């Protein structure tokens, strides 16, 4: 069953009174109470009751890293840039709605990566360098600089797996391909995924 709310205040009321919901699609630019405030209130309500976090997908027209960070800081599980393609939405729903008890980590929790002890001194610096790439990627996307995006994607693709980050290699490959095709929407999706990964990753090391 699908419930629809006209603004964030109504969405919060429905969430706290009518749940539990399998998934929330949150437009962050809503009247009365915006999506950021509504999401933060939903997360607070869940914490008070010890409830399993419900996947909340932010919908926004903005793909800049600071906007993605704002969505994640509010408690959103993912950040989707409008216009959202059907395939993109279905992938996000599958990725998050499938993360129910018994099916893997709850949405909004850390992404734990286990690495060899030999990478203890190197991996954190590598992740910091990728975080420094985020504003460069956003600037290149805003300016339609496909060549810069292709080069950055290629570099990320070629280094991630070597440090134990297969997800970064996969994202880099997708960025490189999307840049070659001039697909701004796909680049925005990958930028959001990379931002989410870098904000959520927690490193563990084998002795």
CATH of region 8-97: 3.40.50.2300
Query: What's the mean per-residue pLDDT of the chain?
Result: 85
- In whole angstroms, give the CA distance from residue 108 to residue 148: 31
In three-state secondary structure terms, 85 is: coil
Q: Can you give the residue ranges of every domain in the chain?
A: 8-97, 111-206
In three-state secondary structure terms, 117 is: helix
Q: Give the CATH fold of the 111-206 domain.
A: 1.20.120
- Pick the closest to residue 39 from 4, 77, 82 (CA basis): 77
* Token duo for residue 172: 């880099």
- In whole angstroms, give the CA distance from residue 65 to residue 32: 25
* Token duo for residue 160: 């991630």
pLDDT in tens, 149-158: 999 999 999 9
Total number of residues shown for the chain: 207
Q: Is there a shared CATH topology between the 8-97 domain and the 111-206 domain? A: no
pLDDT in tens, 45-74: 988 888 878 888 988 887 777 787 788 888
pTM tops 0.85: no
């Amino acid at each position: 069953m699908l419930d629809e709310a006209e603004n964030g205040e109504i969405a919060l009321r429905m969430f706290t009174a009518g749940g539990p919901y399998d998934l929330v699609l949150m437009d962050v630019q809503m009247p009365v109470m915006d999506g950021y405030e509504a999401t933060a209130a939903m997360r607070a309500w869940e914490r008070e009751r010890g409830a399993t976090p419900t996947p909340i997908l932010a919908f926004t027209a903005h793909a800049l890293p600071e906007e993605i960070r704002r969505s994640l800081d509010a408690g959103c599980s993912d950040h989707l840039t409008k216009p959202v393609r059907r395939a993109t939405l279905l992938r996000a729903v599958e990725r998050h709605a499938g993360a129910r008890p018994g099916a893997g980590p709850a949405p909004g929790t850390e992404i734990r990566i286990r690495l060899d002890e030999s990478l203890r001194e190197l991996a954190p610096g590598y992740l910091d360098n990728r975080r420094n790439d985020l504003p460069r990627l956003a600037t290149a996307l805003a300016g339609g600089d496909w060549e810069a995006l292709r080069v950055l994607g290629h570099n990320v693709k070629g280094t991630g797996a070597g440090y134990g980050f297969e997800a970064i290699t996969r994202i880099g490959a997708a960025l490189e391909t999307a840049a070659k095709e001039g697909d701004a929407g796909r680049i925005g999706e990958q930028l959001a995924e990379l931002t989410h990964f870098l904000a959520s990753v927690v490193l563990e090391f084998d002795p």
